[in-house]
Amino acid sequence: MLVLSIILSLGFVFLSIILIHYVSVSKQNETKDNNSSLSGSMGWPFIGETISFFKPHRSDSIGTFLQQRVSRYGKVFMSNLCGGKAIVSCDQELNMFILQNEGKLFTSDYPKAMHDILGEYSLLLATGEIHRKLKNVIISFINLTKSKPEFLLCAENLSISMLESWKNCREIEFHKEVKMFTMSVMVNQLLSIKPEDPARRYVLQDFLTYMKGFVSLPVPLPGTAYTNAIKARKRLSTRVMGMIKQREHEEQEMKKGLREEDFLDVIMSNEDLNYEEKVSIVLDILLGGFETSATLLSLVVYFLAKSPNDLQKLKEEHESIRAKKGDEELLNWEDYQKMEFTQRVMSEALRCGNIVKTVHRKTTHDIKFKAEYVIPKGWKVFPIFTAVHLDPSLHENPYEFNPMRWTDKGKMNKKTTAFGGGVRVCPGGELGKLQIAFFLHHLVLSYRWKIKSDEMPIAHPYVEFKRGMLLEIDPTT
C-alpha cells in the first residue's frame, strides 16, 4: 500500500507540474508579443496544439481550431505545432509573401515522418539546386504529355471503359473508382503499364498505404501507419528500380525498339540524375498525378450534385461539343480548349474543396512583414490556403459553390492558391485538369447521379470523403 501511495502521489505531482506549466504557458502567450503584436497560445507541453490543428474537419470549412483562433487572435497568430514555435497565417498577403520567398527567407520544413517515407529526393522536400533539377524534369514530363495525342487517347479510352463498366450498377464508390482511373492513366503514360496488367492494382494499393503514413507519428513498430508506409514506399521503389534495370538490359540486348517509348525512357536518358533521383521522380509524378486528380474529380462531382443549375450548364457545354463531332469520334486538344465552363467548375471545386490545406515552412532569418509582424528565425510557418479561399473579405458568399465567379480568372487567381505558389507551385495542375475534363465529358452525357445526404469532403489533411463518395447512378439513355 505504501508503494502504491508513493506512486499515486508522484503521479499527482507530475500531473500538477504539467497542468501548472500548461496554464502558465497559455497565460504567457495570451498576451501580445511586444515586438510583433502577435498573440496566440502554445497549448500543452511538448505536443503544443498539433493534435487540434490537424484534427479532421470538413475540407470546405476552415475547421473549429482556426475559427476559434482567428476570432480570438486575428488572421495571424502564434502556436506550438509539430514540435516547435510556429506562426499560423490566414492572411492572403502574408501567405503570398511566404510562398514567393521560398529559398530566400523561408525553407521547406516537413515532419520527420514525411522525410522518412518520401525520401530525400522527393520534390516536396528537396531544396536549392536539387529541387530545381528535379522540378525541371517533371515540368518536361508535363509539357511533353499534356497535348500529346497518345495521352489524350489514353485518358479518353480509360474514361469510356470505366463508365461502361458501371452500366449494370446502381451504386458505385466513386472516389475509389476514379483513383483507379487516374492511376491507370499515369502508369500507362509513365511506365507503359496497361489497364489489364495486375501491377496497376498493386501500385495503387501501395500508394494508398504510402499516403496514410504522411500524417502518422514516426513510430517504428510493426503494423503502424508509419512502418507500413515505409514498407510500401520500398516496394514501389523496388518495382520502379527493377523496371529501370530491365530496360537497361534491353538496351544492351538491342530490344528497346520492340516497345513504344514512354517517359521512364526519357528519365533514364538523363545523365544528370542518379538512380535514387530517377526513382523519386517517378513516384512524385505518380503520387501527384493520381491522388490530386482523383480528389479534384470527386470534389467536382460532389459540388455538382448539390448544384443542379451548374450541372445543367456543364452538360449543355459538353452536348454542344459532342454535337459537332461524329458518333464515336474522340476528343482532341481543340475540344478541351472550348471547355470554358468546365474550367470554371474545376477551379471553383479547388477553391471550395481545398485539396491542400497548408504547407510546412520555417524561417531562415528574422523577418519583419510590413509594420505588423515580426517572425523570429527558426520558427515554423504555416500559410493556410483554406482560410484565404473561404475569406469573406476576398470572396462574396465564400461558402457558396459558384463557378461564375471565375469569369475574371486573372483576378481570382490572385485570391487563390489551390496549387501552391512561388518556386513550389504544383507543375502538374493543367495535366490533371485535362484528364478530369475528358472524364467529365463522358460522365455528364452518360449518367445522372445523387450523393448521400450526409456525404462531405474531410481534410485529414489530405481530402477523403465521409462515405467514400457513394453515388446512386442512373444512365441517361
20 pLDDT higher than 70: no
* 82 known ligand binder: no
Distance CA 430, CA 138 (A): 13
C-alpha torsion angle, residues 219, 220, 226, 231 (rounded to 10): 180
249 Cβ neighbours under 8 A, 6+ residues apart? none
> Of the ranges 143-157, 245-259, 308-322, 327-341, which one carries the lowest mean pLDDT score?
245-259
Q: What is the pLDDT of residue 1?
A: 37
Distance CA 434, CA 164 (A): 20
SS3 382: strand
Of these ranges, 26-40, 137-151, 196-210, the one predicted with the greatest mean pLDDT is 196-210
Are the C-beta atoms of 350 and 299 separated by less than 8 Å? Answer: yes
Q: pTM, whole model, 2 decimals? A: 0.89
Of these ranges, 6-15, 389-398, 407-416, the one predicted with the greatest mean pLDDT is 389-398
Q: What is the per-residue pLDDT across 317-351, written as a single tens digit (0 to 9) for each?
A: 999 999 999 888 999 999 999 999 999 999 999 99
Are the C-beta atoms of 218 and 116 separated by less than 8 Å? Answer: yes
Q: How does residue 13 score in pLDDT terms, banded at 50, 70 and 90?
A: very low
Q: What is the pLDDT of residue 463?
A: 93
Q: What is the per-residue pLDDT across 51-80, written as a single tens digit (0 to 9) for each?
A: 999 999 999 999 999 999 999 999 999 999
DSSP for 349-370 reads HHHHH-S--B--EEESS-EEET
Task: State CA 384 to chain mean position distance.
Answer: 14
% of the chain at pLDDT higher than 90: 55
Task: State CA 274 to chain mean position distance.
Answer: 27
98 Cβ neighbours under 8 A, 6+ residues apart? 89, 106, 361, 381, 383
219 Cβ neighbours under 8 A, 6+ residues apart? 226, 227
212 pLDDT higher than 50: yes
